[in-house]
Each structure stands twice: as structure tokens, then as C-alpha cells.
Amino acid sequence: MSMPLLGEKFPSIEVQTTHGAMKFPEDKRGKWVVLFSHPADFTPVCTTEFVSFQKHKPQFDELGAELVGFSIDQVFSHIKWVEWIKEKLDVEIEFPIIAGTDTLAEKIGMLHPAKGTNTVRAVFIIDPEGVVRTILYYPQEIGRNISEIVRAVKALQKSDEDGVATPANWPENELIKDRVIIPPATDCDTAKERVEKYECYDWWFCHKPQ
């Protein structure tokens, strides 16, 4: 097993989770998945992230995307932490959390030795075919922006459905707002057609309503 890269199948792993045993990503085939690691249970930044992931869960649900957490804590710790979040913060964590190992975390790119012995804040967005489509890394000291992860899933789905690209900060881009980008032409005839068919800054930068 080697660290999964963009465009590759996520390696098959058999794990224990707070929702029982899981073969991943096979058990999630046919669905978009956001697999994210956190450094440790019962830590403040991770607690805020889990609350935020749960608060954003309806948005992930709308996109048909499932959340799966991961750290190298034992499943007993995950269970107790989820109970604590429910009791103290009145938030029920509804998604499974994988109890990983150092070896597994390192092999799939969640353990960076120079950053300590805990998993970094990794995010893998995996498509319904089990292919890795986005990888994000944050250090232990910086909490993630969960809205950006929702946006990334939405943008990937838009790209797949319509064969387009999305601009920076989509759907609130400074140049073309919520419009999408047409892939650049690869021959002269298509380049000429593009500027007649779409709104363009030039033949290589054309856009249309989403």
C-alpha cells in the first residue's frame, strides 16, 4: 500500500469504527466520501472541527457525500469523546470515526513524522468509484474551514456533470461570479468557435452560466 494520490483508487482498508467494522472504501461505493483525520480525541481544535462537520452534515447530505473521521485513538476513546460532545455541547456526532493505527495512518498519508506522532489534519474527497479527487492537509495547530470542503465537493460534482472547470472562490469569483469555465480549445477551429459561442476574455478563457 502506498499513499493515495489524486486520480488513484483509494487503497482498500479494513477498520473498526464507532459504527462497527468497515471495509473502506468498498462499503461506501456509489457515494461521495469525505475522509478526514484529526490529531487526537479530547483536544480543543479537533472538538470544534467535529462540531462543525456535524453542523455542516445536512449540506454534505444534500450532495450525497458521507463523512468518515479517522485518528489513531482506540475506538473506546472515540466512543467516549462522542458521548462527551453530546453531553457537554449538545451535538450528536452521526458519522463514523475510524480507529486507525500508526502504520495505517502513515501509509495513507495521514502521519507526517516531522509534525509529531499524531495524525495531521488530512482530508481526502473520494468519488463514487473510489477515486481520490481532492487532498487537503492542515497542521495540528490550524482548524479546517468546513465550508471550503463542502464547496470542493460541490465543485467536483459540477465539473463531472457538465465537463467544466470552476474558478477561484466559486461560486463567488471576483471576475465571473458564479459562472463556470469552458475547457480551453485544443485546435484552431474550436478556438474560433469558442469566442462566437461563449463569453470570453480570449479563446482560452471562455465561460458560461452554470
CATH number of the structural domain spanning residue 137: 3.40.30.10
pLDDT digit string (tens) for 48-88? Answer: 999 999 999 999 999 999 999 999 999 999 999 999 999 99
Same domain, yes or no: 126 and 176: no
Same domain, yes or no: 113 and 169: no
Residue 158 domain-assigned? Answer: no
CATH number of the structural domain spanning residue 178: 3.30.1020.10
The sign of the torsion formed by the CA atoms of 62, 170, 32, 42 equals negative
Same domain, yes or no: 205 and 129: no
Number of domains in the chain: 2
Same domain, yes or no: 95 and 198: no
pLDDT digit string (tens) for 115-165? Answer: 777 788 999 999 999 999 999 999 889 999 999 999 999 999 999 999 999
Same domain, yes or no: 118 and 179: no
**Beta strands 199-202 and 180-182, pairing class:** unpaired
Give me the domain span that covers residue 205.
163-210
Q: Which residues are catalytic?
A: 46
Residue 5 domain-assigned? Answer: no
Residue 7 domain-assigned? Answer: no
Residue 142 CB-density burial (10 A; 0-12 exposed, 13-18 middle, 19+ buried)? exposed
